[in-house]
Structure 1
Amino acid sequence: METTSYPREKIKILLLENISDTAVRSFKANGYVQVEKLTKAVPEEELVQLVKDVHLLGIRSKTQITENVLKAAKKLQAIGCFCIGVNQVDLHTATMCGVAVFNAPYSNTRSVAELVIGASIMLIRRIPDKNVAAHKGGWMKDAKGSYELRGKTLGIIGYGNIGSQVSVLAESLGMKVIFYDIETKLPLGNASDAKTLKELLSQADIVTLHVPETDQTKDLLNKSNLKYCKKGSIILNYARGEVIELPALAKAIESGQIAGAGIDVFPVEPEKNGDVFSSPLQGLPNVLLTPHIGGSTEEAQQNIGEDVSAKLLNYLEKGITFGSHTVPALSLPPQAGAHRILHIHRNVPGVLSAINSELSRNKINILGQYLKTNEEIGYVVVDVDKQLSKKAEALLRQVPETIKVRLLY
């Protein structure tokens, strides 16, 4: 395998929020020795200072990558979000700075799906109340209000990676599954799609949300539509904190409209263990509150560590951008006997022509060339003759609309 032109021992990698040691081992196994790991999220002011000489940055969900952070990180090539989402990154600024942003959208799917099924069993049997009573010396041996999952209807809002996995597990337990999604999705097993959210809420014994956090999903379940829920149903949210209007859910539980809830994500969450946590759902009967642990299993963290570190290494060493949310996706075959240059530019007409004209005018032969664009930027990979690669790199830096140029090998 070709080595990168920039010495690996000089590449600085910063990992925040106690990212799995799997990622650390992966980088070091590939020859990167400057790997710093911090166990906490870092506020903007401190992060601006930390990232000045960093080439690869790894975060989880709490660290906010703002415009100020990105503009301070002059050497930054890529960000790895060691989690499902990328909401915490200013993607527009990252795009315009030519910084690739990767995440792990599938790595903790099973962990979340299993917890949803586990919470469903606990809540439909009213275990939270019985557990609290037993710890206090009480004895609530009563079948009233306790049910089996078998034969019940599970309503899944958002039939993506996690929602569909929950669907499969639920059917294996004998549940009927219906789902609602704004996009057309192929049902798995015997699942069927509800035409409207109201239709799903009115039929489901248990409702579970698996949607991203967007303007459209904010307070997706609210005081206006919770009234459509089947009386005595259960609500689960292991997705994003803003998708349920919690005060409205609390009132629905108090009134008996909703029989219980399992909530793992909240609009405002403590920054770290030990900080005070507050929710309108605290103290309510048959409510299971967990501290954003849906994907927090050893297996999920290891999978995420392997997945995101592999994407970062593929980009750093091969220029591969599959899975990036910013730089257009390219997968590149190696080119023997050539040097490879990566060129990121603003997506305006004439840039590719300018690149080719500059190289042609200076009698630099192009052995291979690849281009992919999105609405904002273009990504060009050029393989050139080894003897002239340094000159070619300098010429490409002078092309109008250039954002970033890197001699890969």
Structure 2
Amino acid sequence: MNTTSYPKDKIRILFLENISPKAVQLFSDNGYTQVEQVSGALSEDELIRAIGHVHLLGIRSKTHISERVLQAAPKLQAIGCFCIGVNQVDLDAATRYGVSVFNAPYSNTRSVAELVAGLSVMLMRRVIDKHTAAHQGIWLKDARGSHELRGKTMGIIGYGNIGSQVSVIAEALGMKVLYYDQETKLPLGNAKACATMEALLQDSDIVSLHVPGTVHTCNLIHAGNLPLFKKGAMLINCSRGEVVDLEALAGALRTGALGGAAADVFPLEPEKNGDTFETPLQGLPNVILTPHIGGSTEEAQVNIGEDVGHKLFQYLEKGVSYGSHTVPPISLPPIDGAHRILHIHNNVPGVLSEINTLLAANGVNIEGQYLKTNDRIGYVVLDVNKQLSQQAIALLRGVKETIKLRLLY
């Protein structure tokens, strides 16, 4: 059975930002020849010029998908975000245009958690200051201000996939673990939930942030709550750059209220390697700055490439939408002896009834039907008689609330 009705050599796939070769290989191994790879991100205008005939788009965190981009992409079926977040995509617009958006929420969990563990050791031992001095030819063999992790308290704000993994590693290193999350989360190991974030800040030797970038988390750590930290405590941010007021943090570090900090993410980050980078944290003692490398391990990139690549492939060839942030989730087996039609429509009353009535009135027999909706759109999969599939396509185009229509096979 052919897995797609559209010739594979005409399906265009665009991968930006050095997407893992695993994703490229998946499509090339399955007969897709129009796979273009671009090493860096594209600006909005560059992407608008490039996306007109693209069916699948793969990006990482630097490429931003606006409504203008989606307007310029009439053939676009799906976007794969080869990272843990999707905040770089206008999800509301993607939903309205019927474009499925996938990501890999778990694939780099271990990489980020291990980086937090490593940063914790280096901050508590003040390794960065001694490292810098050694490179300058200065010998700083001194135990003052240098501590073990064992017996100290790790405070985790955001107890999701990464935060809970940090919890496990921290406890294995002999630390006590506190966590705060807006949602009720069951603890792993001996971790204890805090009723408020303020309570966590007051009792933690190291505070590690693992929250999404939203209007509610912007400047989550600010001048008003920095005085609540324990004297000499450390702050680690491997989540989103905008969740910390960096000017306020720099002030707390200069006065010694905080003993150190590590930042892997920043409100404004360069577009590519070699670009100029500035932050208020530069030049401060016991501060570790890394260029958004939390998930940048070879293992994580392979996992992400396989995960998101597989989701894109399944959606393109089978219509499977599990993991999508926009199109309602449907997973269904292929069927022999029928053609499969994918219909995305505005979720208003009467659409499914109109589809069924229209097809029945014209003698098109439905051999299988699957429907899932969210508050914005509906996704219906129809298996119809092969001889009547083109007629069905023509009829479905006339359904008023249609957003996207595709003959899968």
TM-score between the two structures when normalised by the length of structure 2: 0.99
Quote the residue 2:351 is aligned against. 351
Per-residue deviation, 1:335: 2.1
Letter matched to residue 273 of structure 1: N
In 2, Cα distance between the equivalents of 1:241 and 1:177? Answer: 24
Q: Distance in 2 between matches of 1:301 and 1:382?
A: 36
1:294 corresponds to: 294
Q: Residue type matched to 2:199 in 1? A: E
Indicate the residue corresponding to 1:192 in structure 2.
192
Shift of 1:275: 1.1
Q: 1:26 aligned to 2:13?
A: no
* Code of the aligned partner of 1:289: L
Q: Which residue of structure 2 aligns with residue 61 of structure 1? A: 61
The yes-or-no answer on 1:149 pairing with 2:161 is no
Q: C-alpha separation between the residues in 2 aligned to 1:171 and 1:44?
A: 44
Looking at structure 2, the residues matched to 27 and 114 of structure 1 have their Cα atoms a distance apart, in angstroms, of: 31
Task: Indicate the residue corresponding to 2:232 in structure 1.
Answer: 232
Is the aligned partner of 1:245 residue 2:219? no
Any idea what the Cα deviations from partners look like across 1:45-101, whole Å, max 9, x if unmatched?
111110000000001001111111101101100000011111111111111111100
SS at the partner of 1:242?
helix
Compute the displacement of 1:333 (Å): 2.1
Q: Deviations over 1:233-279 (max 9, x none)?
A: 00000000000001111111111110000100001111111111111
Identity across the alignment (%): 68
Map 1:158-177 onto structure 2 (within 5 A): 158-177=158-177
Question: Match for residue 379 of structure 1?
Answer: 379
> 2:282 maps to which residue?
282
Q: Which deviates more from structure 2 when the two are superposed, residues 272-281 or residues 125-134?
A: 272-281
Give unmatched runs, 5+ long, in structure 2. Answer: none
Q: Match for residue 391 of structure 1?
A: 391
The answer for the alignment partner of 1:85 in structure 2 is: 85
Q: What CA distance in whole angstroms lies between the structure 2 residues aligned with 1:246 and 1:234?
A: 14
Q: Which runs of 5+ in 1 are unaligned?
A: none
Distance 2:7 2:174 in 1: 57
In the other structure, the counterpart of 2:43 is 43
Q: Distance in 2 between matches of 1:270 and 1:94?
A: 26
Whole-angstrom CA distance in 2 between matches of 1:252 and 1:138: 27
1:272 aligned onto 2:272? yes
Q: Equivalent residue for 1:363?
A: 363
SS of the residue 2:241 aligns to:
coil
2:382 alignment partner, SS class: strand
Equivalent-residue separation in structure 2 for 1:336 and 1:270 (angstroms)? 50
Please name the residue that 1:114 is paired with.
114
Question: Which amino acid in the other structure matches residue 113 of structure 2?
Answer: A
Aligned residue pairs total 409
List structure 1 segments (4+ residues) > 3 angstroms apart after TM superposition: none
1:217: which partner in 2? 217
RMSD after superposition: 0.7
Contact 2:52–2:74 (Cα < 8 Å) also in 1: yes
- In the alignment, the residues of structure 1 paired with residue 178 and residue 394 of structure 2 have an alpha-carbon distance, to the nearest angstrom, of 58
Partners of 2:206 and 2:317 in 1: CA distance: 47
Q: Distance in 2 between matches of 1:367 and 1:395?
A: 17
- Report deviation, 1:2: 4.2
Q: Which amino acid aligns with 2:300?
A: A
